[in-house]
């Protein structure tokens, strides 16, 4: 029986989930389970923990399933809106088509070579964020989150003519740089001015997961399970290697420029499709699929959530925090949007990253600095 008057209910929920990551889902029964923690925390009256084996579906499939089980709070009989992404229009004209094909082929060859090199000999710098070996896949995880106002992210996106994903990646890069700089040295003054304690060259790569469905976005479960549907259910994800440029920049908007340039480059490659093909080969012919993943420093994923407030079986949902465990890295970040909020959910090995809330603070501060720089440069009106 849970003590309803315990001193720290939020810590109890966090510890409960961390203890769950010490156990595995049995394959002899349906590979999912549900835990209801009827304990009031600072965010909600109770917490619902749904644990699902990844073989049943990827983030897009599981989010579609969750939304399909929910209803709008404002209209209890209506399904929530599904945030389907818009496909970009290709360039027209023979020259642009020829150039695009040529660029795609070259970028794909370079990225495949980099995947092979990263897997076997081109290793990331051994920073305070990096796991020393793949054995970290069998350790417990602590899952924490930090929520931001989605309007702040959209404000920066519109002012810099970028995508939400570009802004989130820029915030991540800036936050990681602040965190590692603190680890390598000491903060100067009141925290606004920093001594640069970072090594001259830090190689920090993320495994960035990509939804490879023909029509990206979140769809109703009835649509996804249709035969021959282009939004099919299951695991249909590939990944690319995303290099974070770890540095303290004088102009925070340089993080935005770095993220946009890198993502524009990653959109012109078949790296994710190649990795999905190789994953299927390894799963079929080798006993473990961990062999398909280069040993990067971290994993990163971004999935769209409900656009309006929802309820699950008559219970209002205050937040959604997807995460995972069993990965061969010490840090995994999931980005999830819900209504007017966007959350960064961190899954960390606290033997390697003992202060995940400090990392959350750095991400939050990074967003504030980027937003402040946007205003200072006159890109938006105050």
CATH number at residue 222: 3.30.559.30
Q: How far from the centroid of its chain's Cα atoms is residue 378's Cα?
A: 30
By annotation, the residues acting in catalysis are: 54
Q: Is the pLDDT of residue 280 over 80?
A: no
Whether 168 shows a pLDDT value over 70: the answer reads yes
- pTM for this prediction: 0.89
Range ranked top by mean pLDDT from 4-13, 44-53, 72-81: 44-53
Count CB-CB contacts under 10 A for residue 103.
13
Higher pLDDT, 59 or 266: 266
Whether 26 maps to a domain, the answer reads: no
> pLDDT per residue over 184-242, tens digit each?
886 444 444 467 888 888 999 999 998 887 666 666 666 666 655 656 777 788 889 99
Mean pLDDT for the chain overall: 85
Residue 334 included in any domain: yes
State the pLDDT confidence band at 92, using cuts at 50, 70 and 90. low
- Report whether pLDDT(361) > 80: yes
Mean pLDDT value of segment 122-141: 88
Examine residue 23 and state whether it is found in any structural domain, yes or no: no
CB 24 within 8 A of CB 54: no
Residue 229 lies in a domain: yes
Number of domains comprising the chain: 1
Residue 137 pLDDT grade (very low, low, confident, very high; cuts 50, 70, 90): confident
Residue 199 lies in a domain: yes
In a domain, 96, yes or no: no
CB neighbours of 145 closer than 8 A, spacing ≥ 6? 319, 321, 343, 344, 345, 346, 360
Strand order in the sheet with 315-316: 70-72, 310-312, 315-316
Would residue 48 count as lying in a domain? no
| Domain membership of residue 226 as a residue range | 54-87+105-377
Residues in the chain: 382
Which ranges of 185-243 does DSSP label H, i.e. alpha helix?
A: 221-224
Summarize the confidence of residues 302-319 as an average pLDDT. Answer: 89
Quick one: pLDDT at residue 2?
Answer: 73
For residue 273, give Cα distances in angstroms to 168, 170, 210, 237, 268: 23, 24, 9, 8, 12
pLDDT of residue 188: 44
Does 378 have pLDDT greater than 80?
Answer: no
The answer to whether 321 and 360 have CB atoms below 8 angstroms apart is no
* Mean pLDDT for the stretch of residues 236-255: 92
| Residues paired with residue 97 on neighbouring β-strands, in sequence order | none
If one compares 158 and 221, the residue with the highest pLDDT of the two is 158
129 in Cβ contact with 297 (< 8 Å): yes
CA distance 88 to 151: 23
Mean pLDDT of 278-295: 66
* Of 154 and 187, the one with more pLDDT: 154
Asked if pLDDT for residue 127 goes beyond 60, the answer is yes
Of 61, 58, 11, 63, which is closest to residue 37 (Cα–Cα)? 11
How high is the pLDDT of residue 16? 93
Residue 37 lies in a domain: no
**Kind plus residue range of the DSSP H or E element containing 157:** helix 150-160
């Amino acid at each position: 029986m849970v003590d309803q008057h315990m001193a720290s209910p939020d810590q109890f929920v966090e510890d409960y989930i961390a203890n769950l990551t010490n156990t595995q889902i049995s394959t002899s029964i349906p590979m999912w389970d549900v835990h209801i923690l009827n304990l009031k925390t600072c965010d909600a009256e109770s917490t619902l923990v749904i644990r699902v084996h990844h073989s049943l579906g990827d983030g897009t499939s599981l989010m579609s399933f969750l939304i399909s089980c929910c209803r709008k709070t404002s209209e209890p009989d209506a399904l929530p809106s599904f945030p389907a992404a818009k496909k970009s229009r290709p360039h027209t004209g023979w020259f642009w088509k020829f150039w695009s094909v040529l660029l795609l082929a070259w970028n794909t060859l370079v990225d495949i070579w980099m995947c092979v090199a990263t897997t076997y000999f081109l290793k990331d710098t051994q920073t305070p964020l990096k796991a020393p070996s793949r054995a970290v896949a069998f350790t417990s995880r602590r899952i924490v989150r930090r929520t931001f106002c989605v309007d702040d992210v959209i404000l920066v996106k519109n002012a810099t003519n970028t995508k939400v994903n570009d802004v989130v990646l820029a915030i991540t890069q800036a936050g990681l740089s602040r965190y590692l700089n603190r680890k390598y040295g000491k903060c100067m003054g009141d925290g606004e001015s920093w001594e640069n304690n970072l090594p001259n060259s830090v190689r920090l790569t993320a495994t960035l997961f990509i939804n490879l469905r023909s029509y990206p976005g979140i769809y109703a479960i009835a649509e996804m399970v249709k035969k021959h549907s282009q939004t099919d259910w299951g695991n249909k994800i590939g990944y690319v290697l995303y290099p974070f440029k770890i540095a303290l920049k004088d102009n925070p908007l340089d993080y935005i420029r770095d993220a946009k340039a890198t993502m524009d480059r990653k959109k012109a490659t078949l790296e994710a499709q190649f990795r999905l093909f190789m994953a299927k080969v390894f799963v079929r012919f080798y006993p473990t699929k961990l062999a398909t993943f280069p040993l990067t420093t971290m994993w990163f994923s971004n999935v769209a959530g409900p656009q309006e407030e929802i309820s699950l079986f008559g219970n209002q949902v205050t937040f959604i925090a997807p995460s995972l465990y069993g990965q061969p890295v010490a840090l995994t970040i999931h980005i999830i949007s819900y209504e007017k909020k966007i959350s960064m959910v961190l899954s960390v090995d606290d033997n390697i990253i003992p202060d995940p809330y400090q990392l959350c603070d750095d991400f939050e501060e990074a967003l504030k600095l980027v937003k402040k720089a946007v205003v200072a440069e006159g890109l938006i009106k105050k």
